[in-house]
A and B are shown apart, each in its own frame.
Chain A
Amino acid sequence: MDGITLALTASWEALPYILGGVWWTLALIICAMGLGFVMGVPLAVTHVYANGFFRRLVGLYVWLFRGIPILVQLYLFYFGILAWLGSFSLLAPLNLDSAFSAAVIVLGLTSAAYQSQIFRGAIQSLPQGQLKAARALGMTDTQAIVSIILPQALRLAIPAWSNEYSILLKDSALAFVIGVLEVMSRTRSVAATTHQPLPLSILAGLIFFALTWVGIKALKKLEDKVRIAGYSQQGSL
């Protein structure tokens, strides 16, 4: 009895430490979503508009990153490629956490594969005539894609994108295996000393749930904010 109380107290005292992991989790997922976005948009555009070779290259990329489990990728990147490249010393002057960087790269590259498919679907659901109209006005294809196609496609993609957020959030918990000090890894290390995995697991679950909820709410807000007046999203994903 006394032992359990003691352990619970220890768990309670570890709360700030575990909550501190939220920043790492958030930083991880924001950076990974960002990387996935920055790569996913051009991948999607290439997939839709480029000719055979580049299109197939994107297909290969997507197939590869959707096919390899994140856990495997994390090991491969952290203990394999990154270590082998000696990139740690390269990154050292930036004062970056190497495990964190590896996690961002893995989650970001994987998310890029998924996001590219989200944006591809959104682009393809747009009426094709608008691209024609933009060209007829003398716009280059790049101008037409940047100022006509993408602003609409990205709006359409928000619901699917918020889904990707919640998936990535959960995937980010895997980063504990390479020692990123995010919520899950802190929960585990505290549990190892207090031997009270249950309340701590519940706590971790609640934190992830809250982060999911807040993120999805925020994206729903964004979706409403950028909604085009009178426009019904027949092409929604």
Chain B
Amino acid sequence: MTAQTPLLRVENIVKHLGGHRILDDVSLNVPKGRLKVLIGPSGAGKSTFLQCVNFLLPPDEGKIFLEGREINGASKKELLGLRQHVGMIFQDFNLFDHLTALENVRIALIKVKRMQKREATERAMDELQRVGLVDKAGLYPAQLSGGQKQRVSVARALAMDPKLLLLDEPTSALDPELIGEVLAVIRELAKAGMTMIMATHQISFSASLADEFVFMEQGRIVERGAPSELLGKGRASRTQAFCAKLNELTGENAE
């Protein structure tokens, strides 16, 4: 891998679902340590795209390279390996309901990484520490607030030492007062140099951290560029129009 090789290279992905072309020739390069932000209206294909990257939804066409190596989607072993290196955060957390916060973070270390229980517990506690939830380690998902659940899910992903993190609207299911704690964790990750692709409607938050905004619509990337470029005064970008509409609706992204 040379200095120029992006950590992740996605080339011309096409995905059909239910007879519709949901992703139409989508390409994206993500250099190491950068944050790419996916924005766009509901149904644009953001979630589908993120799930194509780790082959939860295998792309119909196109190529995906991690650290310059093409992923062979036909090989089970390669997919399992890929997923160990690519963490995913979901809109509705998807914590394992029968496991405590600690066990949620620990289980893949034991089952997938074959760590000893003691070592896995230590590692899991470190990650819970990082998201500020050490004191909640023994609680079950049903006993946690939405913000806490999402932080546990971040810890669960981070425990696997991912090279890349995919975040699918990590704050969209949260009450407004709980969004901040999750955004704070994401900000820390970005500052620490974690490579990420995040679908979000938190425009102003991500504008300060993102390397690039990628605006999707109807399965295509219709606009991309640095946040300042797309949101700058006097620009007539699709992104800007979309964000203005979001502001109107929520009043939360005023800036």
Contact = CB atoms under 8 A, between A and B. Distances in A.
B157 to A, nearest CB: 8
B94 A129 contact: yes
B222 interface: no
Interface residues of B, number: 31
A155 B140 CA distance: 15
Contact of B94 (A132, A138, A231): A132
B142 A129 contact: no
Contacts of A134: 96, 108
B83 A136 contact: yes
A137 B98 contact: no
Contact of B98 (A132, A136, A143, A152): A152
A138 B143 contact: no
A139 interface: yes
B104 to A, nearest CB: 9
B83 A137 contact: yes
Nearest to B87: A136
Contacts of B107: 137, 147-148
A155 B98 contact: yes
Nearest to A143: B111
A130 interface: yes
B97 A133 contact: no
A232 B142 CA distance: 8
Given A228-B142, A229-B140, A231-B97, A138 B90 contact: no
The majority secondary structure among interface residues of chain B is mixed
A140 interface: yes
B77 to A, nearest CB: 10
Interface in B93-128: 93-98, 107-108, 111-112
Contacts of A135: 56, 83
A147 B96 CA distance: 10
A129 B92 contact: yes
A147 B76 CA distance: 19
Given A143-B112, A147-B107, A229-B140, A138 B84 contact: yes
A230 interface: yes
A165 to B, nearest CB: 23
B81 interface: yes
B58 to A, nearest CB: 12
A151 interface: yes
A132 B156 CA distance: 14
Interface string A106-147: 000000000000000000000101101111111110010001
Contacts of A130: 94-97
A154 to B, nearest CB: 10
Given A136-B88, A143-B112, A230 B96 contact: no
Interface of B: 54, 56, 76, 80-81, 83-84, 86-88, 90, 92-98, 107-108, 111-112, 139-143, 153, 156-157, 160
Listed from nearest, the 9 A-B pairs whose CB atoms lie closest are A230-B142, A133-B94, A129-B94, A137-B108, A136-B88, A138-B84, A230-B143, A138-B83, A231-B142
Interface of A: 127, 129-130, 132-140, 143, 147-148, 151-152, 155, 228-232
